[in-house]
Amino acid sequence: MDVIVGGGIVGLSIAWRLARSGRPVTVVDPAPASGASYAAAGMLAPVSEVTYTETPLLRLGMASLRRWPSFAAELAEDAGLTGNAGLTRNSGPTGDAEPTGDAGSPHGGLGAIGDGARLGLDLRADGTLDVAFGADDLATLDELATYMEKLGLPVERLTGRECRRLEPMLAPSVRGGLLAPEDAWVDPRRVTAALLAALDRLHVPLVRARAAGLLRDRDGSVAGGSVAGDRVVGGRVVGVRLEPPPGGPEPPSEIRAERVVLAAGAWSGELAEVPVRPIKGQIMRLRSPQPLLSRCVRGTVHGSYVYLVPRGDGELVVGATQEELGFDTRVTAGGLYELLRDARELVPGVTELEVADVVAGLRPGTPDNVPIIGPSGTPGLDLATGHYRGGVLLAPLTAALMVGDLGGEEGELAALCSPGRFQEIS
């Protein structure tokens, strides 16, 4: 049996794919779907998120984006969703979503599947529009566009007027933009809810308790390794020790397993030697009677970065800060002010909207921003952590890697996120 420690989008996706393949699995988490996955905006945007130093991440992101349509369709089926989770694409700037055809993308993006309906997981593939506010922002965007074109990525440069034609609510001061037509997005809260429902229907046990430590070899002693407190630095892992939630029902004190998969996001370093640190992100959800935007809009306002993600039900997500403050999850006036200040410059109408929700989440960051996926070097312990700002995008690929469901070119991707690249793990 496999035990998955952590029930965020990463752990739940792995558990679901394992259960679907017939493998016995148990998930351990005191508060499933409450971590970074609850905060996330849900952009599936490997193209518009590309940076000059992160080409491995681009390859991983493109591969995972291709997997999203079938992942969503199968998840919707297993979760028993009545709405359709298939891919939808907009008919125009403010148009309704309509079914897409079946043509694959020449660039290897999402292509198109699905037969309509914006509910289900709210998976949409209407692209991301990156816009520039000041002259300096436009120069930076132009430079990035040249780099993207060199990489052969599907992007279109747009004037300010063309941007407003696509998104009429953009401010007149927007100077230009870059459309990544194959980027997509999904509602991560719907995805984790669907994953929990699917696991329930597949009778996967969900133990609501914190894993306090990893059990090592049969009698608890360490064979061929050393231990620092509860953290494994050698030996064989044979299960997890559990800590009951205060006042909650008594869980078993331990669970034995053939394999433990550590998927505890930003908290993974509490259980094993992994170079994962929390990177705080504050984000807000606004409620709008009419959708203000028809696609994801990202922008820089005098060097400061903000994005707006529309949901099918009219909600508009505005995010997100990036703060290195340890395990601090306070929502601050300064954080929200910065988000609203920049969002208003790009889309003035946001100030009219009702605030539905503000939250801060902790992204699990790694030294090279690439996740850590695969065998840890300690027998019995696999890692699926460190997804930083792309865990929603990378969930289908991560699950496929952990189930061993990759072939050909995709198989090579495992090397990019191998734990072996960090000395402290191998």
Helices (H), 42-159: 55-79, 135-150
Nearest 5°: phi and psi at 229?
60, -125
Per CB under 6 A, the segment of 9-17, 78-86, 327-335, 375-383 that binds ligand FAD is: 9-17
Structure-token match 């997509």, residue found: 184
How far is it, in rounded angstroms, from Cα 80 to Cα 74?
10
Per CB under 6 A, the segment of 169-177, 197-205, 226-234, 356-364 that binds ligand FAD is: 356-364
- For position 57 contacting ligand FAD by CB under 6 A, the verdict is no
> Among residues 393, 400, 417, 425, which is the contact residue for ligand FAD, using CB under 6 A?
393
CB of 102 to ligand FAD, least distance (A): 26
> Among residues 14, 25, 39, 170, which is the contact residue for ligand FAD, using CB under 6 A?
39
Cβ distance to ligand FAD smaller for residue 165 or 341: 341
- For position 46 contacting ligand FAD by CB under 6 A, the verdict is no
> Among residues 60, 62, 75, 264, which is the contact residue for ligand FAD, using CB under 6 A?
264
Query: 3-state DSSP helix/strand/coil percent for the chain, to nearest 5?
Result: 30, 25, 45
- The secondary structure of 155-188 as a DSSP string is -EEEEHHHHHHH-TTS-TT--EEEEETT-EE--H
- For position 281 contacting ligand FAD by CB under 6 A, the verdict is yes
- For position 265 contacting ligand FAD by CB under 6 A, the verdict is yes
Per CB under 6 A, the segment of 93-101, 137-145, 231-239, 259-267 that binds ligand FAD is: 259-267
Total residue length of the chain: 426
Cβ distance to ligand FAD smaller for residue 164 or 210: 210
> Among residues 10, 47, 65, 76, which is the contact residue for ligand FAD, using CB under 6 A?
10
Cβ distance to ligand FAD smaller for residue 34 or 94: 34
- For position 25 contacting ligand FAD by CB under 6 A, the verdict is no
User: Which residues lie below 8 Å from residue 361, measured CB to CB, with a gap of 6+?
Assistant: 35, 36, 37, 38, 39, 40, 280, 281, 283, 329
Per CB under 6 A, the segment of 37-45, 72-80, 332-340, 416-424 that binds ligand FAD is: 37-45
How far is it, in rounded angstroms, from Cα 253 to Cα 241?
6
- Alpha carbons within 13 angstroms on the beta-carbon side of residue 312 total 26
User: Using an 8 Å Cβ cutoff, are 386 and 268 in contact?
Assistant: yes
User: Which residues lie below 8 Å from residue 198, measured CB to CB, with a gap of 6+?
Assistant: 16, 75, 78, 79
Residues 182-211 that bind ligand FAD (CB under 6 A): 210-211
Where along the sequence are the contacts to ligand FAD (CB under 6 A)? Answer: 5-11, 28-32, 34-37, 39-43, 210-211, 263-267, 270-271, 281, 283, 319-320, 361, 363-364, 385, 387-393
